Amino acid sequence: MIRIGQFNRLRVSKLLGFGAYMTDGTEEILMPTKFLPEEIKEGDNIRVFVYHDNEGRPIATTQLPYACVDQIATLKVVANGAAGGFLDWGLDKDLLVPNSEQRFRLSIGQKAVVWIYIDDKSGRIVASTKLNKFIKDQITGQECDYKQGDDIEIVIAETTTLGYKVVVDGTYWGLLYKNEVFKPIEIGDRMDAYIKEIRPDGKIDVTLRSSEKNEVEDLGQTIINRLNENNGALPFGDKSDAAIIYREFGVSKKVFKRSLGMLLKEGKVQLGDNSITLVKK
């Protein structure tokens, strides 16, 4: 069965002047000429994305959308119309966010965090900014396979009084606290993160930092590498400003000082208020 809004591997069943018919062995859809790879021939199997044309008919394309059906995405608003807002999702045909699926009025040029899905009534691919309809608020005991420190991917969805509401692995809501953020982030940003805690109520707290021990050890190696690249000396130390430390190393001042302490204890460096010197052996 050909999957709408997803990538499919289909075979060229017939080449015509206006395109090619593609089949999975049971269904057949058109791929217009402008999407056909050069030197394509009948019998070739190619990976295509399937969506609807302006008449609502399924068509295949070799263009690559920024996201598929049943995925979260951050997309730019390119137009507004009577039916709703339109997003650039990498295809010739823009993606509709119906008026009824907008939590707030979309403005041209803004980036919107949306869920892409197939509307039950129309059968069309559309998007929604009402993420609560698609994202789970908590993990149940039966489905929880996360543990503290696990790698995850998050999308920054909205701000809260405590920090940021994020979507974890495209499935669950999570919370990123303000005091866990040491760099500028914006709504719609997609980034790597870690499970900080699964609370008793099944809700997820996340952090941008790996476990502190690993982070300290990783930074220690980074500092040694930087020293070797800079003739054994760096102009940073205990008295360096936290903003400078984050700019240079991407960590908090606390983690930086712990890494320096570890290297000092191991006899690898000598420290000044604003200097690190490699101990030559």
Q: Could you tell me the CATH number of the domain that includes residue 256?
A: 1.10.10.10
Query: Does 263 map to a domain?
Result: yes
Query: With the CA atoms of 7, 192, 134 and 157 taken in that order, what torsion angle do they form, in degrees rounded to the nearest 10?
Result: -120
Do 202 and 217 reside in the same domain of the chain? no
d(CA 8, CA 174): 32
Query: Does 87 map to a domain?
Result: yes
pLDDT digits (tens, 9 = 90+) for 240-259: 888 888 888 888 888 888 89
- 8 Å CB contact between 106 and 80: yes
- 8 Å CB contact between 49 and 60: yes
pLDDT digits (tens, 9 = 90+) for 120-136: 988 899 999 999 999 99
d(CA 186, CA 168): 16
Do 238 and 202 reside in the same domain of the chain? no
Does residue 142 surpass a pLDDT of 70?
no
Identify the residue with better confidence: 11 or 216: 11
d(CA 136, CA 105): 24
Query: Does 13 map to a domain?
Result: yes
Query: Does 81 map to a domain?
Result: yes
CATH number of the domain to which 185 belongs: 2.40.50.140
Burial environment of residue 13 by CB neighbours within 10 A (0 to 12, 13 to 18, 19 or more): middle
- List the structure tokens of 123: 């059968």
Identify the residue with better confidence: 130 or 198: 130
Domain extent for 12: 7-61
Q: Sheet containing 95-98: give its strands across.
A: 95-98, 84-88, 71-80, 111-118, 125-128
Do 13 and 47 reside in the same domain of the chain? yes
Query: With the CA atoms of 217, 262, 272 and 278 taken in that order, what torsion angle do they form, in degrees rounded to the nearest 10?
Result: -70
Query: Does 146 map to a domain?
Result: no
Do 241 and 196 reside in the same domain of the chain? no
Do 55 and 77 reside in the same domain of the chain? no
Identify the residue with better confidence: 85 or 150: 85
Query: Does 145 map to a domain?
Result: no
pLDDT, mean of residues 109-128 = 95
Do 218 and 202 reside in the same domain of the chain? no
pLDDT, mean of residues 190-217 = 84
The alpha-helical segments, DSSP class H, found in the chain are 212-229, 242-249, 253-265
Query: Does 268 map to a domain?
Result: yes
Do 220 and 196 reside in the same domain of the chain? no
pLDDT, mean of residues 150-169 = 94
Do 122 and 104 reside in the same domain of the chain? yes
pLDDT digits (tens, 9 = 90+) for 51-101: 998 888 899 999 999 999 999 999 999 999 999 999 999 999 999 999 999
Do 217 and 265 reside in the same domain of the chain? yes
- The tally of domains found in the chain comes to 4
- 8 Å CB contact between 94 and 78: yes
pLDDT, mean of residues 200-224 = 82
Q: How confident is the model at residue 145 (pLDDT cuts 50, 70, 90)?
A: confident
Do 221 and 242 reside in the same domain of the chain? yes
Do 81 and 113 reside in the same domain of the chain? yes
Which whole-number Å values give the CA distances from 221 to 40, 139, 228, 240, 247, in the listed order? 51, 36, 11, 19, 17
Mean pLDDT for all residues in the chain: 90
Do 163 and 216 reside in the same domain of the chain? no
Query: Does 122 map to a domain?
Result: yes
